[in-house]
Amino acid sequence: MAGFYDDWLIVARDRLRSQFLGTLESLLITARRQRDFVLAAGYARRILGEDAWREDALRHLMAARYESGDRTGALHEYEQFSRHLLDDGGIEPMPETIVLRNAVLRGASLPESSAFRDDDGATDSGAPPSPSSVETPNSHS
């Protein structure tokens, strides 16, 4: 019922949108936990497509690309989002996003805030990919 703006529709639409985004986030976390980084990145992009200001989704996207060995792609996502924040909102990225970017720049393990909990409670810190699997700037965007 796009285009209709009765009060009851607005409330229902907002509730369903929140459920949809929550489901996408759960699927994203599950995909990262299963090390399906392409799928996780797709879910993160879908969240950003619905809400371009979701910096948590950007961090998931950066982490998924980095964990897959695409360091350059992770940094590219950061630069695009950072430019969007500055151009459209006049603001800088959140400190935890900058910490994640710095870890990616150094080729270090991801910060604890970028990790997720496994079903058994263990934390996966998002160890960096092996140097031989890291893509070069010309191999992928």
The residues spanned by each domain of the chain are: 7-115
Is there a contact between 129 and 68 (Cβ–Cβ < 8 Å)? Answer: yes
Over the Cα atoms of the chain, what is R_g?
Answer: 17
> Lowest-confidence range among 50-54, 92-96, 125-129?
125-129
72 against 13, higher pLDDT:
72
CATH, domain range 7-115:
1.25.40.10
Model pLDDT, residue 13: 87
Q: How confident is the model at residue 123 (pLDDT cuts 50, 70, 90)?
A: very low
pTM of the entire predicted model: 0.76
Lowest mean pLDDT among 7-21, 66-80, 85-99, 125-139: 125-139
Asked whether 75 and 101 are in contact (CB, 8 A), the reply is yes
